[in-house]
A and B are shown apart, each in its own frame.
Chain A
Amino acid sequence: MTRRTTSPESQRPARRGARASQVGLESRTRAWLRHHRAMWLDSAQRLAKRPLSSLLTMLAIAIALVLPSGLWLALDSARLLDAELDESATVTVYLDTRLDERAAMEVAARLRDQTPVAGARLVTAAEGLAEFQEGVGLEDALASLEDNPLPAAVVVTPADTDPDSVRVLASNLEAVDGVDEARVDLAWLERLRRLAELGQRLALALAGLFGLGVLLVVGNTIRLAVESRRQEIEVVTLIGATHAFVRRPFLYSGAWYGLGGGVLAIVLLVLGGHWLSAPVTALAESYGAHFTLPRLGLGGSVLLCFCSTLLGWLGAWLAVGRHLADIKPR
């Protein structure tokens, strides 16, 4: 570390000098670790000395973290729902109305033999009418009709649920004898996917913005801390402290703020999850779906804390770097 300059160690009497050069790197590493440990503790104590203002800073960080991570969680659960929907993606094949029930069964069998088909279920015209009546509640109106206006249909489950291959399958199915029309209702599924994609981008943009917000919050707090310890910085600079030495306690403060913010964000997410879970489950049930709010889990929590600590550290680094340049010993 002492490059061209001779260290004071070497200028001391030989008795000590020999020992000093022997321990060189090892003792310097030990000193470095010792200072890290000391600053780690010291910065935590400084934060603890002013609990309210520290807590407010952490809370500001936590709020900035909750929004994007909450949105991300919601989208994650939407993806799960999406996978469930994929399984229900089907092609409805309407058969020629002139076919009788036996012919319809034959067509259904043919459809079942098509290559990318996982399954095909025949809904006869009569069954279709019954389902329709049940679902729509127009029993009286339909009962007054003389003939059943509905065609027999085959509900085909594609083996591959990718929208494009489903579309190809549908056109293939349409070519089968006795098939009137194959209808794919993918539009809503695609819309949902687009929406999820939009949400994801939104979450990323929000994460970027709020991450910047965290940097600014920490940066401002550290700027004030640097200002309040200006004299100390000047003195240690005068007596030979390196930039790294001066920066260290502030970097640890920033990391502590970030970690505290991350932990508070997790608490807020858990509390928010509890608060919302009952109405969300009820809402999902009203649509006949099983949906519970997702949890962050251990991995997510650790990741969130890691990111927030890193952001805090980075914010402090930027702020100290920016303000150390201003501080010149008088």
Chain B
Amino acid sequence: MIVFEHVGKRYGGRSEALADINFRVGRGEMLFLTGHSGAGKSSLLRLIMRLEKPSRGRVLVAGHDLDRFHLSQIPYYRRQIGVVFQDHQLLFDRSVFANVALPLEIQGVEPRESARRVRAALDKVGLLYRETALPIELSSGERQRIGIARAVVNKPSLLLADEPTGNLDPQLSADIMRLFEDFNRIGTTVMVASHDLALITRLRHRVLRLREGRLVGDEEAA
């Protein structure tokens, strides 16, 4: 699903954010990406989302060399990836329902079909009863779950999460991770960047360890 071949990334004149990264992720896998802040986790995810191009090497996702995409193809590529952000990135001027429907609106899904899928996604994260609420009325855990609902509403084949439990207490964090495992169980490839080592070790999935832009560990699921 994801292939990194000798990938390096340098921003301006500063030292390398990523250096000679090599790994493969199979379809339907679930794995964690860990390391201290500044180790390059976010840079790596940004490369997969094609927000940036690598300075060196190749990134392939679902068989596509991301470097070869024409600018106009990138939006269509991104529609296949669900992304969960640390700060959830919800739009505060519209309801929970409208937020989750956003990816479907972008893809031009028929309103009735869209409503059905939005409710299914909200039901999955256990917040169907909040569909008319505004994001401001929700707790941070609820907001994160809405963010997840939005990321999975168009049934992406790849789900990326950047520190999805960053601001949550351990109980809520465990709930969120369980959600990701559920999506993985139905075939979605899931990659979660997190520095919450205690949580990661408990969950027993493959872990990629980054330190100062280098891949220093690739531990298979125990």
Tell me the A residues contacting B by CB distance below 8 Å: 1-8, 11-12, 27-28, 30-32, 34-35, 231-232, 234-243, 245, 328-329
Contacts and interface: CB of A to CB of B under 8 A. Distances in A.
Contact of B105 (A1, A35, A231, A329): A35
Contact of A235 (B62, B73, B91, B157): B91
Interface stretch (B15-23, B126-134, B148-156): B148-156
A85 to B, nearest CB: 60
Interface in B66-81: 69-70, 72-73, 75-80
A3 B91 contact: no
Contacts of B79: 5, 7-8, 239-240
Interface centre among B72, B108, B109 (most CB of A within 10 A): B108
Given A235-B91, A328-B51, A240 B107 contact: yes
A35 B110 CA distance: 11
B102 A238 contact: no
Interface string B63-105: 0100001101101111110010000010101000000001101
Given A8-B80, A240-B75, A245 B156 contact: no
A239 B150 contact: yes
Contact of B76 (A1, A234, A236): A1
Nearest to B83: A238
A243 to B, nearest CB: 8
Name, among B51, B105, B111, the residue most crowded by chain A CB atoms within 10 Å (CB to CB). B105
A232 B106 CA distance: 13
A205 to B, nearest CB: 39
B102 A5 contact: no
A235 B150 CA distance: 11
5 contacts: A4-B64, A231-B91, A239-B106, A240-B76, A240-B78
A328 B111 CA distance: 29
Contacts of B154: 8
Nearest to A239: B103
Contacts of B109: 31
B76 A238 contact: no
B51 A329 contact: yes
Contacts of A242: 72, 75
A238 B48 CA distance: 12
A1 B108 CA distance: 12
A2 B76 contact: yes
Contacts of B51: 238, 328-329
Interface string B122-164: 0000000000000000000000000000100011110000000
A239 B106 CA distance: 8
A238 B106 contact: no
User: Top 5 nearest A-B pairs by Cβ distance?
Assistant: A31-B108, A240-B79, A240-B78, A242-B75, A5-B76
B49 interface: yes
Contacts of A30: 108, 110
A143 to B, nearest CB: 91
Contacts of B111: 34
Contact of B89 (A3, A28, A35, A235): A235
B64 A28 contact: no
A231 B73 CA distance: 22
Given A8-B80, A240-B75, A242-B72, A235 B108 contact: no
A8 B156 contact: yes
A238 B49 contact: yes
Contacts of A2: 76
Given A5-B77, A239-B102, A240-B75, 6 more contacts: A6-B80, A7-B76, A7-B79, A235-B89, A240-B79, A240-B107
B62 A6 contact: yes
Nearest to B77: A5
Most B CB within 10 A of own CB, among A30, A234, A235: A235
A245 B106 CA distance: 7
B106 A236 contact: yes
A94 to B, nearest CB: 80
Nearest to A4: B73
Contacts of B76: 1-3, 5, 7, 240
Interface in B33-54: 49, 51
B90 to A, nearest CB: 8
Contacts of A3: 70, 73, 76
B108 A35 contact: yes
Contact of B83 (A1, A232, A239): A239
A94 B88 CA distance: 96
A242 B105 CA distance: 12
B89 A238 contact: yes
Looking at A7, A231, A241, the one whose CB has the most chain B CB atoms below 10 A away is A241
Residue among B76, B80, B83, B155 with max Cβ neighbours from chain A (10 Å): B76
B108 A28 contact: yes
Contacts of B91: 231-232, 235
